[in-house]
């Protein structure tokens, strides 16, 4: 059985990555498995341990990192995030295409380790719309909103490291485009 693809999806916070991903992640033709990351950030309302993230302490995170248990890791607005390596490898060896929803520094590390990873960056129609979306979420204090906005600007400057840049003006369309790209990559990797 061919090893599954490694797919990285990034985009500034508030761009609607989750909404877009939800639209194609369960498509059986794509054989996707979502990689659940480890994070030191607080659980948000509605999030579930082991589904959205594995919520760990700083100490637990650093230990996993030092033991080489993470494919990549990065700090984002004061918290650590990382991708558990063993799980990704297990799923890919089962022929699943593993989807990582991670930020730009993590993507750079993934590309170093897995040069043929399929990398996709989702951009907002414009930055004003992004700000509206981040504020619309309103689950975080102003200080964090400001940090996320500044971070979004920085992330937008790093899109050239991605193979595909897709605008989330219409989430259905963005999901369809990503679906098409994944299918094409599956065909190519099967040849």
Binding site for ligand 5GP (CB under 6 A): 13, 37, 41, 72, 74, 76, 81-83, 101-103, 105-106
Cβ-based nearer residue to ligand 5GP, 54 or 186: 54
Residue 188 Cβ vs ligand 5GP, minimum distance, rounded to whole Å: 26
Residue nearest to ligand 5GP (CB): 106
Q: Which residue, 37 or 97, has its beta carbon nearer to ligand 5GP?
A: 37
Report d(CA 190, CA 166) in Å as an integer: 25
We find the least distance from the C-beta atom of residue 81 to ligand 5GP, in angstroms, to be 3
Tokens of 112: 């170093």
Task: Calculate the CA dihedral of residues 14, 20, 25, 26 and round it to 10 degrees.
Answer: 120
State in angstroms the smallest separation of the CB of 15 from ligand 5GP. Answer: 9
Neighbours of 180 (CB within 10 A): 11
Beta strands in 2-129 (DSSP E): 6-10, 32-34, 37-39, 53-55, 70-76, 79-84, 97-101, 118-123
Task: Give 4 or 16: the residue with its C-beta nearer to ligand 5GP.
Answer: 16
Nearer to ligand 5GP, 76 or 162 (CB): 76
CB of 10 to ligand 5GP, least distance (A): 6
105 DSSP assignment? H
């Amino acid at each position: 059985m061919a090893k599954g693809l490694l797919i990285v999806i990034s985009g500034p916070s508030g761009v609607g990555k989750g909404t877009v991903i939800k639209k194609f992640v369960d498509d059986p033709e794509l054989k996707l498995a979502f990689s659940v990351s480890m994070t030191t950030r607080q659980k948000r309302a509605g999030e579930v341990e082991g589904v959205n993230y594995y919520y760990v302490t700083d100490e637990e995170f650093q230990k996993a990192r030092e033991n080489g248990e993470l494919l990549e890791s990065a700090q984002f607005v004061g918290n650590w995030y990382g991708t558990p390596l063993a799980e990704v490898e297990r799923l890919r060896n089962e022929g699943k295409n593993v989807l990582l929803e991670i930020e730009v520094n993590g993507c750079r590390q993934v590309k170093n380790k897995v040069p043929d990873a399929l990398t996709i960056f989702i951009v907002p129609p414009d930055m004003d719309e992004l700000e509206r979306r981040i504020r619309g979420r309103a689950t975080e204090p102003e200080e964090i909103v400001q940090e996320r906005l500044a971070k979004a600007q920085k992330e937008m400057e790093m899109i050239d490291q991605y193979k595909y840049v897709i605008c989330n003006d219409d989430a259905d369309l963005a999901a369809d485009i990503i679906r098409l790209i994944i299918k094409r990559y599956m065909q190519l990797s099967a040849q």
